[in-house]
Structure 1
């Protein structure tokens, strides 16, 4: 999906990405526009699914989610029909991201758990129950150097 975004839309996205809690009044002041015009633009960006939502970033350590792992998943049907598999993977609460990938593996999952024992439990009780999964390869992260959801916004 490509949305036609002008420089004002791009600037709104940049400002909101820097501070999702920015008030409409502050946004309008920064853009030197009327608050009603800014609000209308933000609502249009939401309707067009350019702005997908507003979230709070939580320190995983603060809520005992200390282990970060990436699991590469191979399925029996390879690059074939993956609807039921992606749906099942997406329903696992500890799975933060599911990516359909090219190469030997079919998916890469980003998973956060409390510790190695809870990761093992997830693998044995959740992943193993998905019929089309033929194998997995797990990589445990030792240190996260950079982790953010920021999107590079072109010349706003």
Structure 2
């Protein structure tokens, strides 16, 4: 990936796209005060450099019957090969995130399922992964904030 510095214009564009992934190029150009062709070129370069990795549609998980969110700590046998364990955990469709962590446990896994019985089934799948020693889950009662937006500070022009 090219390590070119991200300037204030790039940050402004990224802030706009993060708040609305379907925003038009013309609207971005209007908001940043540049020509649409210049903005389009900036966005293309940000994608090429891997700064913009993709676009997502955010759906209401409860409306789709996936009302239970759990964070599961997974203690794994490092001798088995932690990368392969993480890859195996990530393959389950109920798993939204897998984080390799420092500390007592090897992984922190975010799971979204229908109910506690479905969570029990996912935990059984985790237990069948070679190298997984044990799991410990915390069930979310209420989500106060959930976002994938990266806060981007733009230097003020003094």
| TM-score bracket relative to the smaller structure | over 0.9
Residue 146 of structure 2 corresponds to which residue in structure 1? 147
Contact 2:127-2:134 within 8 A present in 1 as well: no
Residue 65 of structure 2 corresponds to which residue in structure 1? 64
Aligned ranges 1:39-54 → 2 under 5 Å: 39-54=40-55
CA RMSD of aligned residues (A): 1.5
Q: Distance in 2 between matches of 1:104 and 1:27?
A: 45
SS in 2 for 1:99: strand
Cα deviations across residues 111-147 of structure 1 (Å, max 9, x unaligned)? 00000011111111x2122111001111111111111
Question: Quick check: 1:137 aligned with 2:136?
Answer: yes
Aligned length: 154
Residue 86 of structure 1 corresponds to which residue in structure 2? 86
Q: Distance in 1 between matches of 2:73 and 2:127?
A: 14
Unpaired runs of 5+ residues, structure 2, are none
Residue 113 of structure 1 corresponds to which residue in structure 2? 113
Contact 1:60-1:66 within 8 A present in 2 as well: yes
Cα deviations across residues 100-120 of structure 1 (Å, max 9, x unaligned)? 111100100000000001111
- Report how far residue 38 of structure 1 moved: 0.6
- Report how far residue 99 of structure 1 moved: 0.5
Unpaired runs of 5+ residues, structure 1, are none
Which portions of structure 1, spanning 4 or more consecutive aligned residues, are displaced by more than 3 angstroms?
none
Q: Distance in 2 between matches of 1:50 and 1:56?
A: 18
- Report how far residue 81 of structure 1 moved: 3.4
Q: Could you state the TM-score of these two structures normalised by the residue count of structure 2? A: 0.92
Residue 128 of structure 1 corresponds to which residue in structure 2? 127
Aligned ranges 1:15-34 → 2 under 5 Å: 15-34=16-35
- Report how far residue 52 of structure 1 moved: 1.1
